[in-house]
Chains A and B, each alone.
Chain A
Amino acid sequence: MFEIQRTIKYEADRVPGFGREVMGVPGCEKLKDCIQCGTCSGVCPLSIYMDYTPRQVMALTREDFKREVLGSHTIWLCASCYACAVECPREIRITDIMYELKQRAIHEGVYPRRFPIPVLAQEFTKMVHDHGRVSEGLLVTKLFLKTNPLAALGMAKLGMGLMKTGRFSVKQENIKRRAELAKIVETVDQENLKGKA
């Protein structure tokens, strides 16, 4: 027996204003011009793994289906190769829209917890915020531990070898005057939040 699911969408499933909000962000305005031709999906090297094709993400965003869009795999699979933005006949900056949607998903806390991309994004910005500099070795280690510790175990031997030859370090590097940087980043964050409100 197959399970029958209700797939219809009611108005209550939409979050009115979501599409307009996204289209109000600089770089995302041209989403209005989308003619749903599917070129983005046709050129996207990762569209073959996506739950919604990039074109569907555009349509869902414009029609205020916030939950579906922010919960989709598509925005996390986007590798920012920009092929879609290059080929789009309406010059829509699809990759930028994907970034905007990713930011919103993190902000709302609806991202897939163990998926490396959002974790990487968060760890990366946190490290820059706190120390003013990215220490790659440490970042990669943290990423593995937070997403797939078992895989980290498998990489341990390689890591040790690299460490022995001085090519890999888990030491955190810092910049001077970290407090000033923190202030700058905080101001930018606040401005950003104002835009989202």
Chain B
Amino acid sequence: MAKQEQEVRIGFYVCHCGTNIAAMVDCPEVAQFVGTLPGVVLSKDYKYMCSDPGQELIQQDIREHRLNRVVVASCSPLLHEPTFRSATEKGGLNQFYFHMVNIREHDSWVHTDRAEATSKAKALAQAAVHRVAHHKPLETKRVSINPTTLVVGAGIAGIHAAMTIANSGKKVILVEREPTIGGHMAKFDKTFPTLDCAACILTPKMSDVGSHENIQVLSYSEVTKVDGFVGNYTVTVKRKPRYIDEEACIGCQDCIPACVFKQPKFADEFNEGLGKRRPVYIPFPQATPQIVAIDPNTCLNFKKGEDGGRVVSDKCKKTCVEACGDKNAIDFTQVERIEEYEVGSVIVATGFQTFDARRAPAYGYGRFPNVYTSLEIERLVNASGPTGGHVVMRDGKSEPRSVGIIHCVGSRDKKTNVWCSRVCCMYSMKLAHLLKEHTGAEIYNFYIDVRTPGKGYEEFYNKLLDEGVHFIRGRVGEVTDWAMTPDEEGKLVIRVEDTLAGYVRRIPVDMVVLATGLEPQQDAQDVRRMFNMSCGSEGFFLERHPKLAPVNTFNDGIYIAGACQGPKDIPDTVAQAGAAAAEVLALIDKGFVEQEPNTAFILEDECSGCKSCIPLCPYTAILFDEGKGRAYINEALCKGCGTCVGSCPSGSIVQNLFDDEEIFSEIEGVLAYE
């Protein structure tokens, strides 16, 4: 190691962070102590180091006191390391002559004894002062940004983000795992609180996406692998076979009525199983792309293969192929394809799933036919739904004369999901309005609290009260068909405490609607791992900062939007999608990112060529030069994890910012404090 030629002149600053630190750590005492350490030229405490005057203070001191090292003891480096590095640089020093000590998250916030917390702050500060003397000037590396963006999930969030980016002239690859884009919003009838029809506002956007010159829609596809780093990701996409040549299909749908199944026979996923479809189908009339799909599980031209999968049997008359004629779009030989795409940034907009109402057995979903989920009602009241918007119960004839809507099913419950799903109050009221409009039935809402925090939402609640919808404050105990009075015969009885009236009541109704909550997608954990993101305790993807970086993740270049980050309604989802698109465009427009120079390098003279580091590198960044018999590290791929450094038997791998001198002096520093 090169000897420090220059005299080390350290400036130390301890931040009060208002009272966040000062309430538990005696900041002046820490400053006074550090001032006595060798190499420290000045030591100060200050109310808010991150403020403009705080940063100015560092710059001024560097000039006036010829400082050549700076240490700030304050919050987490995650938040303000860039701030202080930039202040150090503006003061005329290399930014890596700065070191940060976290005495907030690591000290004041987690301790209750002021004297001990102050001692800990001193020890940590001493460690940093020891370490910073050995810091070396480093340069950040610029990496260019690929201007293409991957958007995962084509619900309203993915669609809006993709449109925003594409309209700026940048290319977007939009991946959707279902045969059509549109997500949950495509299933909704009306949207609260304005009651504009979901299809009327969504489907034009869907077809715009489908025909946009800058958007490539990969429907019925899934991302399976992501490699690379910010600006330069390689994503692997699995294209599932829909047994239709997407280029050849013109969307005439002649094949559907031609199918050998004269009547639709199989549960229709898009209509929540309330309708029927044929094996060859299009999810709904405005589906995008306008391409049919064949379901191998029900199509007679397939049989069970040896491995349990479906294989072509060629037993069917294939009347669909006949109907397709010389377009020749039906291709039973199609197999899964794997494609690779190069992108610079990713927006994850994978959405949510609704709570499975069977997990709340007291409400009888799956046991009583006339207990419905809210999503089923959305389809039932929808003019293009399975009944053409005619609200009939599962017998297909009778209209409900009374309906009970139970809020918070699978929300605010420690046994299932503890969080409030945020949208159920509003959508329950919307469904209450629609059911009343369609049937004139008596509607009862059973709620714990009515939550209407949004523009025009409280007014919507008032509108429902005016319409004469009953609001009963009480979480329903059970739904039963056990009649206790003659007027309960043949009805579903809701047993509930009317907590405001103060009575336990039994209310017989014809139809029960369960306002199921929102929860993370089944495979959210796999998606999280694939994009190297984090999850909160409930399983939704974690934003970098709940207030200041709501669409960023801890992985640069990966952004999140919509309900995959937490339950939210359409306005908030679209706002977030726009924010994510803006972040992506800012990155593309800047054109490059500066990479932290914490990469490892190999001292060629000392490497013995044992190759033990090569298989250990999680990023396959280490290669072997056969000619020289030495390993070398591809800096562009190295993420600075340090695995190779620790494993090298000859100690010939060094990591910037974490070399032996720096680490050992830091340890000595922390141990030297009594």
Q: Is the A/B pair a real complex? A: yes
- Residue positions of A touching B, CB distance < 8 A: 35-44, 47-48, 53, 55-56, 87, 89-91
Q: Closest approach, in angstroms, between the C-beta of B639 and any C-beta of chain A?
A: 42
- Residue interface bits B440-484, CB-to-A below 8 A is 1, else 0: 000000001100000000000000000000000111111000000
Cβ of A43: which chain B residues have Cβ within 8 Å of it?
A: 362, 477-478, 495
Interface residue from B413, B475, B478, B497 paired with A53 (Cβ < 8 Å): B497
Q: Closest approach, in angstroms, between the C-beta of B258 and any C-beta of chain A?
A: 52
Task: Decide: B474 and A37 in contact? CB cutoff 8 A.
Answer: yes
Instruction: Say whether B502 faces chain A, with CB atoms less than 8 Å apart.
Output: yes
Known contacts being A37-B448, A53-B504, is A42 close to B474, with CB within 8 Å? yes
Task: Decide: A89 and B477 in contact? CB cutoff 8 A.
Answer: no
In the assembled complex, the Cα of A172 lies from the Cα of B478 at a distance in Å of 45
Cβ of B362: which chain A residues have Cβ within 8 Å of it?
A: 43, 87
Instruction: Say whether B367 faces chain A, with CB atoms less than 8 Å apart.
Output: no
In the assembled complex, the Cα of A53 lies from the Cα of B362 at a distance in Å of 20
Instruction: Say whether B499 faces chain A, with CB atoms less than 8 Å apart.
Output: yes
Task: Decide: B415 and A89 in contact? CB cutoff 8 A.
Answer: yes
Known contacts being A55-B497, A89-B413, A91-B415, is A39 close to B504, with CB within 8 Å? no
In the assembled complex, the Cα of A184 lies from the Cα of B413 at a distance in Å of 41
Instruction: Say whether B432 faces chain A, with CB atoms less than 8 Å apart.
Output: no
Q: Which residue of A lies closest to B500 (CB)?
A: A38
Cβ of B504: which chain A residues have Cβ within 8 Å of it?
A: 41-42, 44, 47-48, 53
Q: Closest approach, in angstroms, between the C-beta of B660 and any C-beta of chain A?
A: 51
Task: Decide: B497 and A89 in contact? CB cutoff 8 A.
Answer: no
13 contacts between A and B (CB under 8 A): A37-B474, A38-B473, A38-B477, A39-B475, A41-B497, A42-B495, A43-B477, A43-B495, A44-B504, A53-B504, A55-B499, A89-B412, A89-B415
Task: Decide: A87 and B477 in contact? CB cutoff 8 A.
Answer: yes
Interface residue from B412, B415, B449, B478 paired with A42 (Cβ < 8 Å): B478
Task: Decide: B499 and A38 in contact? CB cutoff 8 A.
Answer: yes
Instruction: Say whether B414 faces chain A, with CB atoms less than 8 Å apart.
Output: yes
In the assembled complex, the Cα of A43 lies from the Cα of B412 at a distance in Å of 18
Please tell me the size bucket of the interface on B.
20 to 34
Task: Decide: A37 and B475 in contact? CB cutoff 8 A.
Answer: yes
Q: Which residue of B lies closest to A42 (CB)?
A: B477
List 5 additional A-B contacts (Cβ < 8 Å) besides A39-B497, A43-B362, A91-B414.
Answer: A38-B477, A42-B497, A44-B477, A53-B499, A89-B415
Q: Closest approach, in angstroms, between the C-beta of B186 and any C-beta of chain A?
A: 32
Instruction: Say whether B670 faces chain A, with CB atoms less than 8 Å apart.
Output: no
Q: Closest approach, in angstroms, between the C-beta of B483 and any C-beta of chain A?
A: 15
In the assembled complex, the Cα of A41 lies from the Cα of B448 at a distance in Å of 13
Interface of B (DSSP majority class): loop
Q: Which residue of B lies closest to A35 (CB)?
A: B448
Task: Decide: A38 and B475 in contact? CB cutoff 8 A.
Answer: yes
Interface residue from A42, A48, A56, A89 paired with B496 (Cβ < 8 Å): A42
Q: Closest approach, in angstroms, between the C-beta of B158 and any C-beta of chain A?
A: 33
Cβ of A89: which chain B residues have Cβ within 8 Å of it?
A: 408, 412-415, 475
Q: Closest approach, in angstroms, between the C-beta of B424 and any C-beta of chain A?
A: 14
Q: Which residue of A lies closest to B474 (CB)?
A: A38
Q: Which residue of A lies closest to B473 (CB)?
A: A38
Q: Closest approach, in angstroms, between the C-beta of B494 and any C-beta of chain A?
A: 9
A-B pairs, top 5 by smallest CB distance, nearest first, are: A42-B477, A41-B497, A38-B497, A37-B475, A43-B477
In the assembled complex, the Cα of A48 lies from the Cα of B477 at a distance in Å of 13
Q: Which residue of B lies closest to A33 (CB)?
A: B414
Q: Closest approach, in angstroms, between the C-beta of B404 and any C-beta of chain A?
A: 13
In the assembled complex, the Cα of A72 lies from the Cα of B84 at a distance in Å of 64
Q: Which residue of B lies closest to A53 (CB)?
A: B497
Cβ of B413: which chain A residues have Cβ within 8 Å of it?
A: 89
Cβ of B478: which chain A residues have Cβ within 8 Å of it?
A: 42-43
Q: Closest approach, in angstroms, between the C-beta of A133 and any C-beta of chain B?
A: 39
Q: Closest approach, in angstroms, between the C-beta of A162 and any C-beta of chain B?
A: 35
Q: Closest approach, in angstroms, between the C-beta of A138 and any C-beta of chain B?
A: 38
Residue among B362, B412, B497 with max Cβ neighbours from chain A (10 Å): B497
In the assembled complex, the Cα of A43 lies from the Cα of B475 at a distance in Å of 10
Cβ of A55: which chain B residues have Cβ within 8 Å of it?
A: 497, 499
Q: In B418-448, which residues have CB < 8 Å from any A CB? A: 448
Cβ of B499: which chain A residues have Cβ within 8 Å of it?
A: 36-38, 41, 53, 55
Cβ of A48: which chain B residues have Cβ within 8 Å of it?
A: 504
Q: Closest approach, in angstroms, between the C-beta of B518 and any C-beta of chain A?
A: 17
- Residue interface bits B117-150, CB-to-A below 8 A is 1, else 0: 0000000000000000000000000000000000
Cβ of B477: which chain A residues have Cβ within 8 Å of it?
A: 38-39, 41-44, 87
In the assembled complex, the Cα of A53 lies from the Cα of B495 at a distance in Å of 14
In the assembled complex, the Cα of A94 lies from the Cα of B449 at a distance in Å of 21
In the assembled complex, the Cα of A163 lies from the Cα of B475 at a distance in Å of 50
Q: Closest approach, in angstroms, between the C-beta of B496 and any C-beta of chain A?
A: 5
Q: Closest approach, in angstroms, between the C-beta of A167 and any C-beta of chain B?
A: 35
Q: Which residue of A lies closest to B504 (CB)?
A: A47
Q: Closest approach, in angstroms, between the C-beta of B451 and any C-beta of chain A?
A: 12
Known contacts being A42-B497, A89-B413, is A56 close to B475, with CB within 8 Å? no
In the assembled complex, the Cα of A56 lies from the Cα of B499 at a distance in Å of 9
Cβ of A40: which chain B residues have Cβ within 8 Å of it?
A: 497
Q: Closest approach, in angstroms, between the C-beta of A59 and any C-beta of chain B?
A: 9
Cβ of A47: which chain B residues have Cβ within 8 Å of it?
A: 497, 504
Task: Decide: A35 and B412 in contact? CB cutoff 8 A.
Answer: yes
